[in-house]
């Protein structure tokens, strides 16, 4: 367990004694698909370290629509911000692919942040990269059409320096992917059909293939303020 917690990027800069305390206090648990980890506005005692699987962070509007804030892969933490937000979780968290999660007291993280500027600087750095990613998502909502936004999502899944033909495996199912991109399933289907037509990509179940990235880049990246390759944005999805 020690290794997997010590290698979480957002905790980089933590002291040895911080990791020792975390390891002594954290509880590892397996969660099945569909399991709620916590609910928006629950009182927060713990934060969560995801070491395998996928977790969806979401909120619900008053009229019942679900809004997805993020879908996290392994290597991310969640539920840590109540330290700064009055002790309540600002979103709900649900496991979307069977997950291994360490549950650890927020008090240990808070104490370390209050005494170790290496950790707080590292966390600031992560948040700012995350903010850039959100800036770009907001920009794309305005300047890109739906097929371009799907193209952009695909480009952020690949090694962007790849030459020649490329195979991408979609990380989760298309309904969830549509929701992550803020699209209705039928809008997503139409947009994906248009993207195939415009760029020649081939989609087979969860696999997407193309002869090179060039078509996708020229189709999506003209309507973006970041230049391709935009690897700086890819790890903050």
Residues 6+ apart with CB under 8 A from 88: 41, 42, 43, 44, 82
CB of 204 to a copy of itself, least distance (A): 28
**Residue 113 or 157: which CB sits closer to a copy of itself?**
113
Closest CA to 93 of 56, 41, 50: 56
- 17 lines the binding site for a copy of itself (CB under 8 A): no
Q: How far is the CB of 226 from a copy of itself (least distance, A)?
A: 8
What SS3 state is found at 201?
Answer: coil
Q: How far is the CB of 115 from a copy of itself (least distance, A)?
A: 6
Tell me which residues in 170-189 interact with a copy of itself (CB under 8 A): 182-183
Choose among 226, 227, 223: nearest CA to 144: 223
Q: Tokens in use for 183?
A: 């699209």
> C-beta of 152: minimal distance to a copy of itself in Å?
12
Say whether residue 130 binds a copy of itself (CB under 8 A). Answer: yes
> What number of helices (H) and strands (E) belong to the chain?
9, 9
Question: What's the CA gap between 152 and 134, in Å, rounded?
Answer: 14
Interface segment toward a copy of itself; rule CB under 8 A; list 6-14, 46-54, 107-115, 168-176: 107-115
Q: What span, in angstroms and rounded, lies between the C-alpha atoms of 209 and 189?
A: 17
Residue whose structure tokens are 């969806």: 56
Site string for a copy of itself, 136-165 (x = CB under 8 A): -xxx-xxx----------------------
Contacts with a copy of itself, residue ranges (CB under 8 A): 40, 59-63, 65, 67, 69, 81, 84-85, 90-91, 113-117, 120-121, 123-125, 127-132, 134-135, 137-139, 141-143, 182-183, 221-225, 227
């Amino acid at each position: 367990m020690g290794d997997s917690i010590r290698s979480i990027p957002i905790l980089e800069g933590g002291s040895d004694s911080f990791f020792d305390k975390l390891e002594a206090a954290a509880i590892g648990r397996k969660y099945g698909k569909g399991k709620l980890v916590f609910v928006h506005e629950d009182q927060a005692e713990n934060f969560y370290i995801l070491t395998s699987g996928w977790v969806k962070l979401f909120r619900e509007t008053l009229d019942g629509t679900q809004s997805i804030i993020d879908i996290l892969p392994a290597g991310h933490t969640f539920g840590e911000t109540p330290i700064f937000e009055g002790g309540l979780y600002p979103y709900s968290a649900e496991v979307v692919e069977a997950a291994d999660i360490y549950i650890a007291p927020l008090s240990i993280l808070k104490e370390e942040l209050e005494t170790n500027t290496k950790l707080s600087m590292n966390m600031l750095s992560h948040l700012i990269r995350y903010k850039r990613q959100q800036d770009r998502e907001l920009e794309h909502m305005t300047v890109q059409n739906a097929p371009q936004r799907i193209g952009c999502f695909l480009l952020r899944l690949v090694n962007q320096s790849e030459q020649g033909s490329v195979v991408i495996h979609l990380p989760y199912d298309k309904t969830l992917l549509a929701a992550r991109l803020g699209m209705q399933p039928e809008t997503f289907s139409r947009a994906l059909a248009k993207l195939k037509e415009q760029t020649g990509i081939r989609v087979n179940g969860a696999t997407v293939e193309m002869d090179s990235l060039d078509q996708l880049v020229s189709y999506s990246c003209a309507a973006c303020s970041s230049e391709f390759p935009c690897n700086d944005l890819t790890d903050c999805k």
